[in-house]
Amino acid sequence: MSQAEFQQWIEFYRSWPFDDLHRYHRPAALIAGSLGGGDLMARLEWLQPPPAYDENGHTSADRDLYAAAGLKPRG
């Protein structure tokens, strides 16, 4: 993959992220908020567990992105 294509993928991910927070948790928290009061950030924290980091400080989402790009993370 060329550097230019990699930069395009970065921009694509920033525009349309495909992680669970953006696909599932955030919409669920917004819907819950429309049904009653409460703090959006508190609902998001309750819906999403903290990310698990490996020994190199990468989450599973980080590792998936590296793999999708055909790269190996540094560490």
The whole-model pTM stands at 0.37
Average of pLDDT values for 3-12?
Answer: 87
Number of structural domains (the chain) is 1
Angle at alpha carbon of residue 37, lines to 24 and 20, rounded to 5°: 10
The answer to whether residue 49 sits within a structural domain is yes
What's residue 18's pLDDT? 75
DSSP conformation class of 70: T
Residue 51 lies in a domain: yes
pLDDT confidence of residue 44: 72
User: Given this model, what pLDDT does residue 75 score?
Assistant: 64
What's the domain range around 23? 17-68
Evaluate whether residue 12 is within a structural domain. Answer: no
Stretch 10-15: mean pLDDT, rounded?
82
Cα 33 from Cα 43, distance rounded (Å): 8
Q: For the segment 19-74, what is each residue's pLDDT rounded down to a tens digit? A: 777 777 778 887 877 777 677 777 777 777 777 888 888 888 888 888 888 888 77
